[in-house]
Chain A
């Protein structure tokens, strides 16, 4: 009944999901074939001693969670090893202190590298998400309002095509087009820009950000348009819209004051559910445009077999998505007064 109960339940659930991801993230890298140390440091010139040294350095010499070095919890404690001195608890302890290990490739703390890159991703997602929502909502409304007119069919077809575009491919095409039209071929800044004044640097960065954001916007607006259109078509055939019309309100007033908020509800849910896909799109865009964000970091970590980076990157992405989902739930509870506890 009460909004606070609803929020509390959602918060508890988000926390539970984060714990799940933390545990999953640890075991994924232990269960799947290939010892990270052997996989990650495949240089044949390394002597066994050197590899052992690296294993010690990255803490891979310690038992995984118990002395048998398996993940079977029933066999835990069958020998005299301090459970707090196992890889899992060291991992959890480090996480709580915000440490994600040392990157094999950069030889620097993963958290430091990801911290720098997080903001670039937020910039890209933030801009793209806002633009695609605006475009999606505006055209979705127009299309539903003018249902069964050429405008409606135009929006419908555009939305369907945009929805089926592979993100990375659209990125490639835009990059290809941009490279012959004076756009940068990727990255965040023109080399040598750092000596320029702040404002010039900012303009340069936005210039680099333009095509990635455009890619993001086009890919995500399609679905938002379609969702908004179909949800608004439902809302506009509700009885309270007829009431609003009988009250003598103008079409604009009806759309703004009676249809928009109701029509937005499914969109908020979809945006929340989509956050996971969003990140998938960001990996592709950042890889194509060499935009130094989290997705790009994940992509590079894969090709460099940089496991700490991969692990840290995935964890950060997953936790961000869970938190963003929680925010979307909060927003929903303010939009819809009918929200009740499940």
Chain B
């Protein structure tokens, strides 16, 4: 389970239908396609394009050896007075023929070995993959050189030898893809109804392995073209087929260097680069279609905060105050998605506030926004965050780094990936102390780490272990120990128990509550489980679709909930005092944040919906008396 940040996922196209749509987005892929098409057409129409016959040096006088480029010979002439431009055009034919046929052999062998190994598994797989690994380690070019040197240098031989030794990477890729495909449901079903192996491979596995095979084929062609030119350059090419490598061999061996005939050296090289670059670019484009990935990461700067007029603050002395905070996700070419809108709350020392709502309601975004940890597309568009009276949203990175962890720390959901796999847990805890408490006696750090781990119930001997040696519950507790390392004043616990089993959930909740009492922490507890919050919270903020649905003291929320969403959430959880109560769930899903309904965001699922809800977004109504904020048109009547 990974931390939810960007709720908007790119729509992954169904493979064949939108292939071109996706491919088109890769500028490199397009460039590659153009390069390849151009050279392919050149090769096909070589006799029409070439101004001279490449084989004969007809009409060439003795003085025409290594003539510089001119109007008659665009790329000059070579050592025998032949036109380099014509040779270049015909050379494309040889290079492409060798490339495509050799790659066909390689992909055929590699594909077969990969599919058989992946599908049959067991001993077959073991032997085939051992063989593949062995072949992979043996340097292929020296081997090809040796074999070509021992046989006759004909084009056919070269195609075979290059093809026979170029299959190893394909076999490995195809095998892992076959393994992945093999366990899919429809393959298992086909096996269950007794389909033969050949049938399954042909009709179920091959179509899904094909895309990988195509990408591999493209890359293998580029390797084959390079190998052919290298062989020809080393003098092992077919002397009757003038490939680009052959041209370079002649030019290099027959004095192009000493006569300064750069054109005879540059032109064939450009040809090779043209084809290979074209193929690699097309490979990149195809990769992008098969394996689309978000082009963002955590170190990309998020969009600058839009400064807004600060509203008057309540005079109360609070630790953390969030005022009218709004956060948008901005993706180019799309309408901004309002992930958080106009949310306000306060937190005093030692208090615990519960932040409740279904997944995708903007809870995590709100928490990341507090510490300016929003992803690249995220932007604070309105509101302020005051921590000890200091406005955080407009701080520079260096300044906000001083607040992070030292003032406010976070326990992320699913600590599976939240710890670095290649560093020991103890080391990762110590790191925060070194960073934030420079005065801390470094000799005492190990003792402090042990103390922290002890606090969350992890024995000292696990200090030097890596995260993968921990159980899920231990990792979550280690995360908590890490969050406490610098004695922060606020700890944000973002669904710290979602991925854990019930017993461990209870332990962790207990632990957090104890620590709060012992250390005087203020905690923001993010959860979708109203039951969890009931026992420990002071106040509860219910979020729906990015906005505050209801915000009140915990007793008010449980005894007199006013927002239909809160009421529905409460119905969904068992109550010990009313054992016969029927549990119900709310039909439907929270709205997509980039496609919010026009009126109240809960309207499409609300049992008490009326016309006005569909057109007008309800304001945040503050009820008289105790703190109680509700955003629902129905409340107006009560007020």
| B605, CB-defined interface residue at 8 Å | no
* CB of A55, distance to nearest CB on chain B (Å): 18
- Rounded to whole angstroms, the CA-CA distance of A33 and B154 in the bound complex is 14
- Rounded to whole angstroms, the CA-CA distance of A168 and B272 in the bound complex is 11
* CB of B207, distance to nearest CB on chain A (Å): 27
- Rounded to whole angstroms, the CA-CA distance of A258 and B299 in the bound complex is 12
* CB of B214, distance to nearest CB on chain A (Å): 19
A183 CB contacts on chain B under 8 angstroms: none
Partner of A314, one of B146, B293, B468: B146
A175 CB contacts on chain B under 8 angstroms: 257
Once A169-B269, A314-B146 are accepted as A-B contacts, the answer to whether A338 and B421 lie under 8 Å apart by CB is yes
A288 CB contacts on chain B under 8 angstroms: 252
B142 and A245 contacting across the interface, CB-CB below 8 Å: no
B412 and A242 contacting across the interface, CB-CB below 8 Å: yes
A164 and B280 contacting across the interface, CB-CB below 8 Å: yes
B151 CB contacts on chain A under 8 angstroms: 32-33
B130 CB contacts on chain A under 8 angstroms: 13
Complex interface residues of chain A between 155 and 204 (CB less than 8 A to chain B): 156, 160-161, 163-169, 172-173, 175-176, 179, 185
B146 and A299 contacting across the interface, CB-CB below 8 Å: no
A276 CB contacts on chain B under 8 angstroms: 136-141
| A298, CB-defined interface residue at 8 Å | yes
| B563, CB-defined interface residue at 8 Å | no
A17 and B257 contacting across the interface, CB-CB below 8 Å: no
| B230, CB-defined interface residue at 8 Å | yes
Q: A262: nearest residue on chain B (CB-CB)?
A: B422
**Chain-B contact segment, one of A72-80, A83-91, A247-255:** A247-255
Q: B150: nearest residue on chain A (CB-CB)?
A: A32
Complex interface residues of chain B between 371 and 413 (CB less than 8 A to chain A): 371, 373, 397-398, 400-406, 409-410, 412
| B229, CB-defined interface residue at 8 Å | yes
Complex interface residues of chain A between 233 and 278 (CB less than 8 A to chain B): 233, 236-251, 253-255, 257-258, 261-262, 273, 275-278
B435 CB contacts on chain A under 8 angstroms: 247-249, 253
B299 CB contacts on chain A under 8 angstroms: 145, 236, 241, 245, 251, 254-255
Once A161-B273, A237-B296 are accepted as A-B contacts, the answer to whether A168 and B420 lie under 8 Å apart by CB is no
Partner of B284, one of A34, A160, A238, A278: A160
B403 CB contacts on chain A under 8 angstroms: 248
| A20, CB-defined interface residue at 8 Å | yes
Q: A144: nearest residue on chain B (CB-CB)?
A: B297
* CB of A44, distance to nearest CB on chain B (Å): 20
A236 and B298 contacting across the interface, CB-CB below 8 Å: yes
B410 CB contacts on chain A under 8 angstroms: 243, 246
B139 and A317 contacting across the interface, CB-CB below 8 Å: yes
- Rounded to whole angstroms, the CA-CA distance of A160 and B27 in the bound complex is 13
B436 CB contacts on chain A under 8 angstroms: 248
| A336, CB-defined interface residue at 8 Å | yes
B405 and A247 contacting across the interface, CB-CB below 8 Å: yes
- Rounded to whole angstroms, the CA-CA distance of A338 and B266 in the bound complex is 48
Size category of the A interface is 35 or more
| B224, CB-defined interface residue at 8 Å | no
- Chain B: residues with Cβ within 8 Å of the partner, total of 83
| B14, CB-defined interface residue at 8 Å | no
| A60, CB-defined interface residue at 8 Å | no
B141 CB contacts on chain A under 8 angstroms: 276-277, 279-280, 283
A239 and B405 contacting across the interface, CB-CB below 8 Å: no
A33 and B150 contacting across the interface, CB-CB below 8 Å: yes
A261 CB contacts on chain B under 8 angstroms: 422-423
| B281, CB-defined interface residue at 8 Å | yes
B400 CB contacts on chain A under 8 angstroms: 248
Q: A33: nearest residue on chain B (CB-CB)?
A: B151
A273 CB contacts on chain B under 8 angstroms: 136
**Chain-A contact segment, one of B194-202, B232-240, B334-342, B551-559:** B232-240
B3 CB contacts on chain A under 8 angstroms: 239, 242
Interface residues of B (CB under 8 A from A): 2-3, 5, 28, 130, 133-134, 136-143, 145-147, 149-152, 222, 226, 229-230, 233-236, 245, 248, 252, 257, 262, 265-266, 268-269, 272-273, 276-277, 280-281, 284, 293-300, 371, 373, 397-398, 400-406, 409-410, 412, 414, 417-423, 431-432, 435-436, 466, 468, 482
A sample of 21 inter-chain contacts (CB < 8 A) reads A148-B295, A160-B277, A164-B272, A166-B276, A168-B233, A172-B269, A240-B418, A241-B297, A241-B298, A246-B404, A246-B405, A248-B403, A250-B401, A257-B423, A278-B139, A283-B234, A298-B142, A299-B145, A299-B234, A302-B146, A337-B421
